[in-house]
């Protein structure tokens, strides 16, 4: 199909543009590295975004993704292997003879951050920790996490085990958008499972759940005096992802995350760029030449603009004007950008309405098979 670029402003109502203003950076108390991005990966603020740091138990998000990618049934009973993860390691206390399902191990790992759950997930899914870690690194490369390397499935401190806030924010976006199990689990306050013959309840390590409006998770981390948090939040249709590494205290990672989110939500703007009621064109209807389809935005859409981002611009493609279209067919799209970063998009479809039914006097039409 032939695609033509056309001047959308000739047919669309006036759109407000973002003002160029100077916005102060968010105030961080402890984090050595920090980032806040929107759902498209546009960076709103960053501090040492590509500095390699220990990511601690944020590691477990990748462990969950690899386990889910394996295709192993979540209700498969798992054999528990005795592991020595150190006296200070946070564990659920699983013992040999316990037979939790993979689902239960994943939930205890993501909610309570149990290191023994992570270790046993790796062994049950891949046969060994080493084989599983290889899959983790392959997944990281597949996602484009070029400054990340895993040495274990739990995040305990180890040479060669590192990531960056930029890579981890990317991982968080993928985890919540493509893995419904992870998205639901990291937003859960507690999980109850059988451990050593007793039902035990484990509570989330995420202190922002239930205390910060719109928070969605996703994972805490703490190792060697360095606290971390990978977070996600959604308010009024604006989804943000944050990551902080290198905070000195557990509370500091949450304080700095709140600072990033407050700053972003205070300065973000949603600029309307399309309404489904707008008619931007008319095309001939494919099933009846006497009828037409209105071309309208598929939905009401807004562009997300960010501090110091400048004015919005757009690029539009449309089907050639005289091509026939079906009811509901995609006719074109517009991508809105701000300083080269994607801010929003609009898709246009053909819409057949009752008003398009031809009103003709049937008695004036020729009778087929007879001379008019």
Residue 108, token pair as written in the block: 């205890």
pLDDT higher than 50, residue 16:
no
Choice between 294 and 48, residue whose per-residue pLDDT is larger: 48
Taking only the tens place, the pLDDT of each residue in 175-214 is 999 999 999 999 999 999 999 999 999 999 999 999 999 9
Of 108-112, 125-129, 241-245, 333-337, minimum mean pLDDT range: 333-337
pLDDT for 355: 62
Q: Do 220 and 113 meet the contact criterion of CB atoms below 8 Å apart?
A: yes
Taking only the tens place, the pLDDT of each residue in 115-172 is 999 999 999 999 999 999 999 999 999 999 999 999 999 999 999 999 999 999 999 9
Residue 234, token pair as written in the block: 């959604």
pLDDT for 292: 84
Dihedral sign computed on CA atoms, order 302, 307, 313, 319: negative
Ordered by where they begin, the domains of the chain are 3-18+272-356 (2.60.410), 33-191+202-267 (3.40.710.10)
Average pLDDT estimate for 271-293: 84
pLDDT higher than 70, residue 6:
no
pLDDT higher than 60, residue 361:
no
* Length of the chain, in residues: 372
SS (H, E, C) 311-362: CEEEEEEEECCCCCECCCCEEEEEEEEECCEEEEEEEEEEECCHHHCCCCCH
Share of the chain above pLDDT 70, in %: 88
109 in the Ramachandran plot: left (φ > 0), alpha (ψ -120 to 50) or beta?
alpha
Choice between 14 and 115, residue whose per-residue pLDDT is larger: 115
Distance, in Å, from the CA atom of 282 to the CA atom of 292, rounded to the nearest integer, reads: 7
CA-based angle 268:253:251, to the nearest 5? 125
């Amino acid at each position: 199909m032939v695609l033509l670029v056309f001047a959308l402003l000739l047919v669309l109502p006036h759109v407000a543009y973002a003002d160029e203003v100077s916005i102060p950076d968010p105030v961080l108390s402890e984090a050595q590295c920090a980032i806040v991005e929107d759902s498209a990966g546009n960076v709103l603020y960053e501090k040492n975004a590509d500095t390699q740091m220990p990511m601690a138990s944020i590691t477990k998000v990748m462990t969950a993704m690899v386990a889910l990618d394996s295709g192993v049934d979540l209700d498969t009973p798992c054999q528990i292997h005795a592991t020595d993860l150190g006296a200070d390691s946070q564990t659920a206390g699983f013992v040999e003879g316990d037979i939790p399902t993979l689902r239960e191990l994943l939930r205890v790992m993501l909610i309570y951050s149990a290191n023994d759950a992570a270790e046993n997930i790796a062994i049950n899914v891949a046969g060994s920790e080493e084989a599983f870690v290889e899959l983790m690194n392959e997944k990281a490369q597949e996602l484009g996490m070029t400054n990340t390397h895993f040495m274990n499935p739990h995040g305990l401190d180890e040479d060669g085990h590192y990531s960056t806030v930029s890579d981890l924010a990317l991982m968080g976006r993928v985890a919540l958008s493509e893995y419904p199990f992870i998205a639901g689990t990291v937003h859960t306050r507690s999980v109850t499972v059988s451990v050593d013959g007793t039902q035990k309840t484990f509570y989330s390590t995420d202190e922002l759940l239930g205390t910060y409006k719109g928070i969605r998770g996703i994972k805490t981390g703490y190792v060697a005096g360095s606290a971390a948090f990978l977070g996600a939040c959604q308010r009024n249709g604006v989804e943000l992802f944050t990551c902080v590494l290198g905070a000195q205290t557990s509370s500091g990672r949450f304080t700095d995350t709140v600072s990033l989110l407050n700053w972003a939500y205070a300065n973000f703007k949603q600029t309307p760029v399309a309404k489904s009621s707008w008619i931007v064109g008319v095309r001939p209807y494919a099933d009846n030449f006497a009828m037409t389809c209105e071309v309208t935005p598929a939905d009401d859409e807004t562009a997300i603009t960010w501090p110091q981002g400048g004015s919005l611009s757009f690029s539009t493609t449309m089907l050639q004007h005289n091509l026939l279209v079906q009811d509901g067919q995609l006719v074109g799209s517009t991508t809105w950008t701000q300083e080269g970063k994607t801010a929003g998009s609009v898709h246009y479809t053909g819409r057949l309405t009752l008003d398009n039914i031809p009103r003709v006097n049937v008695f004036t039409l020729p009778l087929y098979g007879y001379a008019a």
